[in-house]
Amino acid sequence: MLAYFVDNFDPFIFRLWDNVGPRWYGFAYVLAFVSAYFVVRWLSKHGYCDLPPERVSDFITWTALFGVLIGGRIGYAVFYRPEMLRDPLSILRVWEGGMASHGGMIGILALSFYYARRHKLPWTNLGDALVVAAPIGLLEAPAGMTFGSDGRSRLISSGGDQAGLRCLLETWDTPVHCFPARPTPTG
């Protein structure tokens, strides 16, 4: 017998109203920003980053708001939904979903360059600190997507036998085979 797991988590940690409440994906973002704060602050206190420790919270807040969130949202509009650019106010409708990781990275790049120039810090040094902190956030985001069922995948058909499992998964309206069928042993 071959067993498999299909997640069916609620995207909400808890609900305040019908469709209002903190979501797992948002919680993953918060954890990523808090983790980045502690990592960059540690680097700053130990002399690995030229950013003074008292400015770390300011820098992480600016990076989170303008680099990740706004950059990610604008990246989503530019790369995936260019029709949103015809109605720029639609970009503000965040409850409809949509973030692009590469838009967030471009936003962080632009924001860190601006912040370094404004505060007369070496941009590469600030970037080095972010590169150390970023993998933690990049690890937390997929976990938030998994628990929040944000992968938008659903099993549309399955079939199999004792030796294997065949399934068809519909992801973002594109059917894909998720497991190749294994031949049934004979004899």
Residue 126 has a CB neighbour count (10 Å cut-off) of: 22
Residue 11 resides in a domain: no
User: Are residues 51 and 126 in contact, defined by beta-carbon separation less than 8 angstroms?
Assistant: yes
- Phi/psi at 37 (nearest 5 deg)? -60, -50
pLDDT tops 80 at residue 7: no
**Euclidean distance between CA atoms 162 and 184, whole angstroms:** 7
Average pLDDT over residues 60-81: 92
CA angle 124, 141, 112 (to 5 degrees): 20
Tens of pLDDT along 76-107?
999 999 999 999 999 998 878 888 888 999 99
In a domain, 7, yes or no: no
**Spatial distance between the Cα atoms of 57 and 38, rounded to a whole number of angstroms:** 9
Rounded mean pLDDT of the chain? 79
Q: Inter-axis angle of helices 123-147 and 24-45, to 10 degrees?
A: 150
Residue 176 lies in domain: 152-187
Same domain as 140, residue 58: yes
Q: Are residues 54 and 105 in the same domain?
A: yes
Number of domains in the chain: 2
Closest CA to 32 of 130, 140, 126: 140
